[in-house]
A and B are shown apart, each in its own frame.
Chain A
Amino acid sequence: MERYRGRPDAIAGLVQGHRVHRDVYIDKEIFDLELEHLFPNSWIYVGHASQLKKPGDFITCRIGKQPILASRHRDGTIHVFYNRCPHKGVKIASEPCGNTGKFFRCPYHAWSFKTDGSLLAIPLKKGYENTGFDNDQAARGLTPVKNVKIYRDFIFARLADEGLSFEDFFADSLSTIDNMIDRSPTGELEIVGAPIRYMHTCNWKMLVENQTDTCHPMVAHESSAGTAIKVWEREQERTGATEKPMAVQLYAPFMSSYEFFEQSGIRIWPNGHGHTGVSGSIHQDYDDLDGYFSMMVEAYGEERAKAILSDNRHNTVYFPNIMVKGSVAILRNFIPVAVDRTLVESWVYRLVGAPDKMYERALMYNRFINAPTSIVGHDDLEMYERAQEGLTSDGNEWVNIQRLYEAGEAEDVTEVINGTSERQMRNQFYAWRKFMIQDMPQNVEAAE
């Protein structure tokens, strides 16, 4: 029996402020509804314009369960389509990225399409004469995604026809992406390498929640970051080394105290977005590398350069499923695969015009924290897996997200709060509830 389909009240009841019902993580029907409603109703990250440098360049991704294709047309415009041939539904592009030349050609029956999606040619076209083909959707070529926004080279799409505009959906949260871009002396980012991909056997929301969970690093990562500090201290005693290696600079702040995280603050925004590290973060004490600061002063003037580089936000969650970390120019994409399976793709942007060493550090951070070979990743995944299994226990059907909860706290507001609050997790669930049921008809029972 379907417990949630057609029952928005039941879905809304899963989010109760200080707690959420376990079904949001373990129920397959809820997961299917997320792909059908939550993801299409939200603005989802498709990719970065630097992945589409030349005409004919394309990338593929999924939004919810739907395959998506983006391409650069010969006039320089970027187009986003549903990745299926209008003929028999065959996926037009099967690789993550590539260059298709002047047109896409379906490998099944050789229907071809210009890189703006319009139908170019069909073999034996005369077979469609007098069939009314021109009136069929197939004649219009690849179906475009109607709502696409390219914000400073970041490509987002919303599949649902109706919904919040890009500007209303993200609003002030775009300041994190702005800051990341501004960290390039020329104001430009580019993707020049592959993402690190890491399969997680847990629900996608556990990963998103963990991005603003500041009470776990000193516990879960004691094994990795704590050991790194121990080994480094011993190394210092042995060799008298004083200069902290880049690797230790990246690992050590994971052991920061509760007080540090409390004072760093969390900022929440409407629609489920929010970030840790408002007035300082684990990224604030990295070395200046190879004259980077001087380059920034040269490019922006000292005051502006300092303003950009002193805004060291920790993790910014862009609801529903990406996290941006400006200080090391990383974007993590939490791609739902199944109710208990999430593909994480972690991308590093190169700051155009900055020293290579900056990119080197970002790549190091990415493999330290976000790789299947990452000891910090091992710590985290172990927790998610145990939660995914533990939640099937009937002893308690609820997950507690009550830290610094205030009864009747406002939803969809901008606020800065204590950095150990679980408010951002609640913020995400308020948005989850909103975008899950936004386009659902009233309860079937109620209508009858």
Chain B
Amino acid sequence: MSPGNVTPDRLIDFVYDEAATLDEMRWEDWLALFHDDGRYWMPLEWQQEDPLLQPSLMYEDRLLLTVRVERLSGERTFSQKPKSRCHHLLERPRVISDGTEDGVCRLRTSFLYTETRGDLLDRYSGWVSHELVEVDGNLKIMLKRVDLINFDAPFGNIQLFI
């Protein structure tokens, strides 16, 4: 059955709002959007199915995401001197599933992501897939999956979150 008040607009707003927490560097707010068992996944292969037994660029739970967030503001985090900033340009998210079947709402969103640090600026594009569930009336991220179009290219540092 469809979770309580889940409407397409609410799901779509969630995806935009999540990107806003990153663009505004509100890292703690961003972490809070994840379910306790949520994961952030960045595959390394085309249409990858297994995050653990196929190589991934990232597959992280809340503990590991917390490490990243705390590191960003660390006194001795030299790769953040100067600090990075990011910008998410999102196409309107497509609602793939509203959760009626299994309680998991799925969206897919095309993006252009820009990360900058000092005089450097890097751009990435691809698709982000969200799997959201409702917990106590709030939407939470079970899985955020980032598929880059050029997942197999050699990048320099990607220090923030796409």
The smallest beta-carbon distance between A208 and chain B, in angstroms, is 17
Residue B1, interface by CB 8 Å:
no
- Contact assessment for A199 and B156 in the assembled complex, using a CB-CB cutoff below 8 Å: yes
Q: Which residues of B approach A to under 8 Å, CB–CB?
A: 42, 44-45, 52-59, 63-64, 66-68, 70-71, 74, 76-79, 152-159
Residue A228, interface by CB 8 Å:
yes
- Contact assessment for B154 and A372 in the assembled complex, using a CB-CB cutoff below 8 Å: yes
Residue A232, interface by CB 8 Å:
yes
- Contact assessment for A196 and B44 in the assembled complex, using a CB-CB cutoff below 8 Å: yes
Residue A298, interface by CB 8 Å:
no
- Contact assessment for B71 and A375 in the assembled complex, using a CB-CB cutoff below 8 Å: yes
Residue of A nearest to B157 (CB): A378
Query: How far, in angstroms, from A227 to B80 measured CA to CA in the complex?
Result: 14
The smallest beta-carbon distance between B117 and chain A, in angstroms, is 10
Residue among A197, A364, A379 making CB contact with B154, cutoff 8 Å: A197
Chain A residues contacting B76 (CB-CB under 8 Å) are 222-223, 226
A301-309, A355-363, A427-435 - interface stretch: A355-363
- Contact assessment for B67 and A375 in the assembled complex, using a CB-CB cutoff below 8 Å: yes
**Cross-chain pairs A/B with CB under 8 angstroms, 10 sampled:** A198-B154, A199-B155, A199-B156, A235-B63, A363-B52, A371-B57, A375-B71, A377-B157, A382-B79, A383-B78
Chain B residues contacting A230 (CB-CB under 8 Å) are 70
- Contact assessment for A363 and B56 in the assembled complex, using a CB-CB cutoff below 8 Å: yes
Interface size in chain A (residues, C-beta < 8 A): 44
- Contact assessment for B55 and A367 in the assembled complex, using a CB-CB cutoff below 8 Å: yes
Which chain A residues numbered 337 to 374 have a C-beta less than 8 Å away from chain B? 343-345, 348, 356, 359-360, 363-364, 366-367, 371-373
Chain A interface, DSSP helix/strand/loop, else mixed: helix
Query: How far, in angstroms, from A117 to B45 measured CA to CA in the complex?
Result: 31
Q: Given A224-B67, A247-B63, A377-B157: A372 and B53 within 8 A (CB)?
A: no
A184-226: CB near B (< 8 Å → 1, else 0) gives 0000000001111111110000000000000000001011101
The smallest beta-carbon distance between B81 and chain A, in angstroms, is 8
Residue of B nearest to A247 (CB): B64
- Contact assessment for A372 and B156 in the assembled complex, using a CB-CB cutoff below 8 Å: yes
Other A-B pairs, 19, CB within 8 Å; known A196-B44, A378-B159: A193-B44, A194-B44, A196-B57, A197-B152, A201-B156, A226-B76, A227-B70, A228-B67, A231-B67, A231-B70, A232-B63, A247-B64, A251-B67, A343-B154, A345-B154, A356-B53, A360-B52, A371-B57, A381-B79
- Contact assessment for A363 and B158 in the assembled complex, using a CB-CB cutoff below 8 Å: no
Q: Which residues of A approach B to under 8 Å, CB–CB?
A: 193-201, 220, 222-224, 226-228, 230-232, 235, 245, 247, 251, 343-345, 348, 356, 359-360, 363-364, 366-367, 371-373, 375, 377-379, 381-383
Residue of B nearest to A221 (CB): B76
Residue among A199, A348, A378 making CB contact with B79, cutoff 8 Å: A378
The 10 closest A-B pairs by CB, nearest first: A197-B154, A382-B79, A372-B155, A223-B77, A199-B154, A378-B79, A193-B55, A227-B71, A373-B57, A228-B67
Chain A residues contacting B74 (CB-CB under 8 Å) are 222-223, 227
Chain B residues contacting A247 (CB-CB under 8 Å) are 63-64
- Contact assessment for B158 and A372 in the assembled complex, using a CB-CB cutoff below 8 Å: yes
- Contact assessment for B52 and A348 in the assembled complex, using a CB-CB cutoff below 8 Å: no
Query: How far, in angstroms, from A330 to B154 measured CA to CA in the complex?
Result: 18
Query: How far, in angstroms, from A217 to B153 measured CA to CA in the complex?
Result: 27
Q: Which of A200, A235, A359, A373 has the most CB of B within 10 A?
A: A373
Chain B residues contacting A356 (CB-CB under 8 Å) are 53
Query: How far, in angstroms, from A382 to B54 measured CA to CA in the complex?
Result: 28
- Contact assessment for B71 and A224 in the assembled complex, using a CB-CB cutoff below 8 Å: yes
Query: How far, in angstroms, from A363 to B56 measured CA to CA in the complex?
Result: 8
Residue of A nearest to B68 (CB): A375
Chain A residues contacting B55 (CB-CB under 8 Å) are 193-196, 348, 363, 366-367
- Contact assessment for B67 and A227 in the assembled complex, using a CB-CB cutoff below 8 Å: yes
The smallest beta-carbon distance between A21 and chain B, in angstroms, is 26
Chain B residues contacting A235 (CB-CB under 8 Å) are 63
Query: How far, in angstroms, from A348 to B44 measured CA to CA in the complex?
Result: 13
Residue of B nearest to A235 (CB): B63
Chain A residues contacting B64 (CB-CB under 8 Å) are 228, 247
Residue of A nearest to B162 (CB): A373
Chain A residues contacting B157 (CB-CB under 8 Å) are 372, 377-378, 381
Q: Given A367-B58, A372-B155: A220 and B78 within 8 A (CB)?
A: yes
Query: How far, in angstroms, from A198 to B57 measured CA to CA in the complex?
Result: 11
The smallest beta-carbon distance between A200 and chain B, in angstroms, is 8
Residue of A nearest to B146 (CB): A373
- Contact assessment for A367 and B156 in the assembled complex, using a CB-CB cutoff below 8 Å: no
Q: Given A193-B55, A235-B63, A375-B67: A223 and B158 within 8 A (CB)?
A: no
Chain B residues contacting A251 (CB-CB under 8 Å) are 67
Query: How far, in angstroms, from A375 to B78 measured CA to CA in the complex?
Result: 11
Chain B residues contacting A348 (CB-CB under 8 Å) are 55
Chain B residues contacting A224 (CB-CB under 8 Å) are 67, 71
Query: How far, in angstroms, from A348 to B63 measured CA to CA in the complex?
Result: 24
The smallest beta-carbon distance between A294 and chain B, in angstroms, is 21
Query: How far, in angstroms, from A345 to B152 measured CA to CA in the complex?
Result: 11
- Contact assessment for A379 and B78 in the assembled complex, using a CB-CB cutoff below 8 Å: yes
Residue of A nearest to B120 (CB): A201
Query: How far, in angstroms, from A195 to B67 measured CA to CA in the complex?
Result: 25
